[in-house]
Amino acid sequence: MIIEAKLYPKTNKLAIQQTLVYHNTSTDSLTKIVLRNWPNSYKNDHTPLAKRLLEDYKTDFYFSNKNERGYTKINEITTIPNKGTFEIPEQAQDLIFVQLATPLAPKDSITLHLNYTVKIPHIKFTGSGVKGVDYFLEDWHITPSLYKNHQWVLDIHQNLNNQYNPPTNYKVTLKTPIGYNVFSNFNHQKDTTTSEVTHYLTHQNATQTHLSIVFLKSYLEVATPNTKIHTNFISKKISIAVQKEKMHKMMLFLQENIGTLTQQNILVDKKTYQQNPIY
């Protein structure tokens, strides 16, 4: 998957151009491709997410103002080689149904080009979004839904967990204003000009694409066997040297009991810990 994105902090928006190649690994010929458009879950009071939050007696979203909410504005979706159309169902505004002009046969693939803008919501609703001048993003771009047992899994956003995504190769180019640092599970390189920073993020077989985009802040980097940890979850009561030592021992323990991690970077942010402290 190839993503070119640019962050506009004044409006809390991401402009995204995305290319994804969908391989039909099923035994069925597909007449449509279903995409998960979870950034659009914050659009209004009628999305599955809004209804779920209210069922859980979380009223922050219901009483929030429009500027705190988020949405996706789809500018264009094109399919190659066959032309298709798309629609966003009213009852599931976080899904996109791309209707294909000709069926996609088993073992064939199709390339989708997407051009859209994401308005990033406030972080208080689900723990993903903008907080002050910083951004903590989960499920921030459009992904294909799963197709199994001869049907599409209509995986709507109900604040239950993160998306399940099959291992995917990512190549992300993210442009931010000067002063913003990006931390993630991706391999990371960057170029800096007088006006902006271009972050080049790559990951093979990634199943999640969490990003921490923070202004004039740095994360602690801890080199452990085979993997580097990036974290802002730092105790003020314990010295940095001791914390690094403990992380090193934890990774050795995991390696001995679970196996060597294939990824070169791990993002551990304080927000994620606060969501699931015991886990």
State residue 247's pLDDT score: 83
> Mean pLDDT, to the nearest integer, of 227-242?
83
* Residue 96: strand pairing partners: 35
- DSSP-derived secondary structure letter, 164: P
Measuring CA to CA, how many Å separate 80 from each of 19, 31, 59, 98, 106?
11, 14, 43, 12, 16
Six token digits for residue 145: 């839904």
Question: How is 172-218 classified by DSSP, letter by letter?
Answer: EEEEEETTEEEEESSEEEEEE-SSEEEEEEEEEEES---EEEEES--
* Tokens found for residue 115: 């051009």
Residue whose C-alpha is closest to residue 77's, from 94, 93, 104, 97: 97
Asked if the bond preceding 144 is cis, omega within 30° of 0, the reply is no
Residue 270 has pLDDT above 60, yes or no: yes
**Amino acid 278: pLDDT:** 59
Query: Could you tell me the sign of the dihedral formed by the alpha carbons of 25, 38, 206, 204, in that order?
Result: positive
Segment 210-221 shows an average pLDDT of 89
Q: Length of the chain, please?
A: 279
pTM (2 decimals)? 0.86
State the DSSP code for 40.
G
The per-residue pLDDT for 251 is 84
Q: Is residue 219 scored above 90 in pLDDT?
A: no
* Predicted local distance difference test score (pLDDT) of residue 217: 85
